[in-house]
Amino acid sequence: MQTIIYILPELFLSLAIMSLLMIGVFIKKSFKLVNLLTILSLVFAIALVLNQPNEIIKIFNESYIIDRLSIFMKVLTLLFCLFVLLSSRDYIKSNNIDKIEYPIIILASTLGMILMISSYDLIIFYLGLELQSLCLYILASFKREDERSTEAGLKYFVLSALASGILLYGCSLIYGFTGSTNFEVISNNLDEYNIPAVFGIVFIIVGLAFKISAVPFHMWTPDVYEGSPTSVTSFFALVPKIAALSVFIRFMYVPFVNVISQWQTIIVFLSIASMILGSVAAIGQNNIKRLMAYSSIGHMGYALAGLAPGTNAGIQSTIIYLTIYLVMNLGAFGCIFMMKRENAYYENINELSGLSKNHPMLALSFLIILFSLAGMPPLAGFFAKFYIFMAVIESKMYALAIIGLVTTVVSAFYYLRIIKIIYFDKPKKPFEQSYDWGLKISLILSSVLILIYFIYPSILIDAISSILIY
């Protein structure tokens, strides 16, 4: 009975998914009801997670862990899933994807992510990963009549299945050469001289790098971001990143902590390659969703830079970076959802021409978000990168810090290009102004949080400083 109390959020979400499916099947035209109940389910699940004890608890034969890291990451996952659903309501209706399956699949995917975050065993981790991935395949191709969406779904399915296979092979190698799937037992049985097991670590890193779209396993990201419905793209850009980075932290610093010298170089390479490609490849993009794809690749490079030193300070800086990145991206996609004219949504950057003349408040929000993404002080994005660079410099990894700074300057170019289009180009026909209240709340909240972060940075830092991995 005591064990059930610890997994109440997971149990509740499972029951919610099954109940919502039945409601959707038995009540005709029940999308609005199912969507509302999904949002309420997420709110209730957040309350259940926050109610969990603030100590380290291992259940199910030490294969499932509840600690400060898992609680914080679960709250982030559920919260941003909630905001994605709220901000995309109008888009879903306009694009005829208001099917009952849509919010249920998102909820099922979120359940998979929550299982991944708390996993302390290779089998539990893989179960969570597959539940998440299967749902994401469907979401990417949800707009069946659209050729681009179908292509995006197929592309993501093929490449993600390959990555999952590589990851599973890595897990089986680890199990074969350490004799266990439990993280702690693996850590005790693993040393630098266990060469075959090191191969397993490489395969696992490859699989995880694909999930967070780190270079050179990023090839799916621009096409899937562009082809998927924008509501799905915003989900892809925000929520799965939380679970993948949580697993990255958990894997690197629990089972593989004794072989840090073996995987540190790989993480540094992934970080540098992602930062360089993310800053250079985005320059020539005209589609804003493709630009956001390359932007997310670059930002994941900075997040991995925090993991490279192998210190608690580095891990905490990565979690702070991830949190601020999510707030910025929520705002950015809020602005993209507002690019609507005559019931059609636009994705070309040139459509933002002279936005400041027609929609000064929307232009201001866009300005704040883009400056923050570029890392301009005193906005939240600057502090996110500052914490990463501090952790890297403290570990004397100067080359990584210099490359990070250079790529920040380069990436500022394409953010400033959009600002130039918004403020200095000839105005186009105004966008529609009948925005949904969920979209307004998401955009206002993200803009305000980015703007005022420097006044109270301690709120986030204090919440994360208690997260210690080892």
pLDDT band at residue 18 using 50, 70 and 90 as cut-offs:
very high
Q: With pLDDT > 70 as the criterion, what percentage of the chain qualifies?
A: 99
C-alpha angle with apex 375: 243 to 305, nearest 5 degrees?
45
Q: Which pLDDT does position 169 carry in this prediction?
A: 92
Per-residue pLDDT reduced to its tens digit, 226-278: 888 888 889 988 898 899 899 888 888 888 888 888 888 889 999 999 999 98
State the DSSP string of 37-55. Answer: HHHHHHHHHHHHHHTS-SS
- Answer whether residue 212 shows pLDDT above 90: no
- How many Å apart are CA 292 and CA 233, to the nearest integer? 9
Q: Which pLDDT does position 37 carry in this prediction?
A: 92
The dihedrals phi and psi of 142, each to the nearest 5 degrees, come to: -65, -35
Considering only 7-11, 42-46, 219-223, 339-343, which range has the smallest mean pLDDT?
A: 339-343
Q: Which pLDDT does position 106 carry in this prediction?
A: 92
Quick one: average pLDDT of 381-399? 89
- Answer whether residue 22 shows pLDDT above 60: yes
- 290 and 218 Cβ atoms separated by less than 8 Å: no
User: Distances in Å between the alpha carbon of 93 and those of 22, 27, 31, 98, 229?
Assistant: 22, 19, 10, 5, 12
Averaged pLDDT of the chain = 87
- How many Å apart are CA 94 and CA 107, to the nearest integer? 21
Q: With pLDDT > 90 as the criterion, what percentage of the chain qualifies?
A: 24
Q: Which pLDDT does position 455 carry in this prediction?
A: 84
Per-residue pLDDT reduced to its tens digit, 173-201: 989 888 888 888 888 888 766 778 788 88
Per-residue pLDDT reduced to its tens digit, 304-360: 998 888 888 888 899 999 999 999 999 999 888 888 887 788 888 888 888 888 888
Bridge partners (DSSP) listed for residue 182: 121
Q: Which pLDDT does position 107 carry in this prediction?
A: 93
Q: What is the pTM of this model?
A: 0.93
Radius of gyration of the chain (CA): 21
Token pair listed for 198: 């090191």
pLDDT band at residue 374 using 50, 70 and 90 as cut-offs:
confident
Quick one: average pLDDT of 156-161? 89
- How many Å apart are CA 455 and CA 210, to the nearest integer? 36
User: Distances in Å between the alpha carbon of 123 and those of 63, 119, 126?
Assistant: 9, 8, 5
Using omega within 30 degrees of 0 as the cis cutoff, is the peptide bond preceding 53 cis? no
Q: Which pLDDT does position 324 carry in this prediction?
A: 92
pLDDT band at residue 431 using 50, 70 and 90 as cut-offs:
confident
Quick one: average pLDDT of 78-95? 88
Q: Which pLDDT does position 469 carry in this prediction?
A: 64
- 221 and 290 Cβ atoms separated by less than 8 Å: no
- Answer whether residue 434 shows pLDDT above 70: no
- Answer whether residue 118 shows pLDDT above 80: yes
**Between 377 and 46, the higher pLDDT residue:** 46
Q: Which pLDDT does position 89 carry in this prediction?
A: 85
